[in-house]
Structure 1
Amino acid sequence: MSVTDDAIEAIKQMILTGELRPGDRLPREPELAERLGLSRNSLREAVRALSLIHVLDVRQGDGTYVTSLEPGLLMDALGFVVDFHRDDTVLQFFEARRVLEPAVTAMAAMYMSEYDIQNLAYLLDSLPEEPTVDELVANDVEFHRRIAAGSGNPVLCSLVENVSGRTTRARMWRAITQDNVVDRTLSEHRAILQALAAREVELARSWATVHIAGVEHWIRKTLVDGA
């Protein structure tokens, strides 16, 4: 482990133990470096690294603070990394969706409010009879985002949003090239919605798996095997 890694671990432990809490200001650099037995350069590199992943907030002329540590903020760093992946890795993100979203959908069947489920139905009904590709994909993204939020777990919600958001372009390709994609998407969305409304946990999980696996299969055959 490098000296910078040691510094990162030391700051992380201060946060995990509660010595530093969200919103707290870190001690001044010379004081913290002496306290941790680290060089100021190593501490500076650690602070820079932790600020890149939104754990710390460096405010010029003011000091360095622990961020809110909200899941959505921390998961932004995942999105930053994912954006640099090549198109031929999109299948991996659909595989990740297939693992995450059925579990999240099952949780939503238990915890999503009746009000939010009703609004989910309104969302599906708001789609025009002959939607554009942009309208279809935007509706699809929002549908899954609301279900993730309905799970009641903000960490899982942030993970789903970051992974799912990076598959938008592939979903648009599918909407353009695959026959009956509108009817199939809406049919599967309504099956998921009905399972949520009925509080059928395993049925909701199964339909989410079928729905995402179908898109994954198309990605594999069209964008990967067919490349």
Structure 2
Amino acid sequence: MTASKMTSVARFSAQARLRALQADILELILDRDLVPGDPLPTESELTAALGVGRNTLRESLKALQAVGVIEIRHGFGMFVAASNFEALTDGLTFRARLSLRHHGEEAMQLVDVRQALESGLIGAAMDRITPEQLAAVEETVLRIEAAAAAGEPFIEADAEFHRRLFEPLNNELLVSLMDVFWKVYRRIHLEVGGPYDVDLEDFATLHREIYEAVASADKARAAERLGWHFEEIRNVIAQSTA
């Protein structure tokens, strides 16, 4: 075996051992029934329990911190992290930005996933929406319409519109995933720049139509208009990669 191949095998073996150690740490958290905010055992306790050296342990702990599983507070210790989607956001943002240089395929796929979530859940959200929540959705539409009339983009108001639309589901995971998608899309928007062939007032009218479909309990029309909304996003990405 050549020296380069031996180096590659050794590197792969080291990575495999680190992944195995990370899995062991996760199992320890589960076995001890720890919840977000709970402290982890000390480094000394972990090295003894897992049978590894301190440096190897620290490398694995840093990797788990990077993906939001644990939180290391210097001077205080290590803790099970609260829900954290920053690593997912960073990863998807990079993949989407990279794809913009190669026909935007992955950026388009992200839009597909987001549309599937919203179109699939809009009916359930409409079943539970209260008059107060519906009024909050309309308030956001008014903000979007005012921005469009002034010729100003309304990405933040658009994100708020969708959050309020699905607020009746009381689904924190869905809200977190929606925030991830909008952070990614906002970065894509900055990446592609403009101007593009998007009529802000037409886009605002589409939000009004989604609201009106929800207000009139027309689930099919609401899902259809949501589909049109995401088609506009696809058009922006397509124009940027043409």
TM-score scaled by length of structure 2:
0.77
- The secondary structure found in structure 2 opposite 1:144 is helix
Q: Which amino acid aligns with 2:89?
A: G
**How many residue pairs were aligned?**
218
Contact residue 25 and residue 66 of structure 1 kept, 8 A = yes
Cα distance, 1:163 vs structure 2: 1.4
CA 174–97 in structure 1, closer or farther in 2 if over 3 Å, else same: farther
Q: Equivalent residue of 1:10, what SS?
A: helix
Q: Deviations over 1:95-148 (max 9, x none)?
A: 3322333234333223333212111101212332622333x3332222123224
Q: Does 1:99 align with 2:116?
A: yes
Q: Which runs of 5+ in 1 are unaligned?
A: none
* Aligned residue in 2 for 1:109: 126
Alignment match, 1:47: 61
Computing the radius of gyration from Cα coordinates, the structure with the larger value is 2
Runs of 4+ in 1 over 4 A off after TM superposition: 169-175
Deviations 1:143-167 (A, max 9, x none): 1232244432111211121112222
Percent of pairs with identical residues: 24
Secondary structure of residue in 1 paired with 2:65: helix
Residues 178-219 of structure 1 show CA distances to partners (whole Å, capped at 9, x for unaligned) of: 25x223212221222123223444432232122212331453
Matched residues in 2 for 1:65 and 1:189: separation?
A: 42
- Partners of 2:110 and 2:26 in 1: CA distance: 29
Provide the C-alpha distance between the structure 2 equivalents of 1:168 and 1:178, rounded to a whole number of angstroms: 18
Structure 2: how far apart are the matches of 1:27 and 1:169? 38
Distance 1:206 1:139 in 2: 21
| Structure 2 counterpart of 1:191 | 209
Structure 1 residue 131 corresponds to structure 2 residue 125: no
Q: Residues 150, 46 of structure 1: CA spacing in aligned structure 2 closer, same or farther, 3 A cutoff?
A: farther
Checking the alignment, whether the CA contact within 8 Å between 2:47 and 2:53 is kept in structure 1 is yes
* 1:95 and 1:216 in contact (8 A); partners too: no
Report the 3-state secondary structure (helix = DSSP H, G, I; strand = E; otherwise coil) of the residue aligned with 1:15. helix
Shift in Å at residue 79 of structure 1?
1.5
Counterpart of 2:5?
A: none
For residue 27 of structure 1, the aligned residue among 13, 28, 41 is: 41
Is 1:145 the counterpart of 2:191? The answer is no
Structure 2 CA distance for aligned equivalents of residues 19 and 9 of structure 1: 15
Distance 1:44 1:215, change over 3 A: same
**What is the RMSD computed on CA atoms of the aligned residues?**
2.7
Contact 1:25/1:65, CA 8 A, preserved across alignment:
yes
How do residues 185-224 of structure 1 correspond to structure 2 at under 5 angstroms? 185-220=203-238, 222-224=239-241
Q: Contact between 2:196 and 2:236, CA under 8 Å: does it hold in 1?
A: no
Q: Which amino acid aligns with 1:45?
A: E
Which structure 2 residue ranges, 5 or more long, are not aligned? 1-14
Partner residue of 2:74? 60
SS at match of 1:83: helix
- The range that moved more, 118-127 or 14-23, is 14-23
Normalised TM-score (structure 1): 0.81
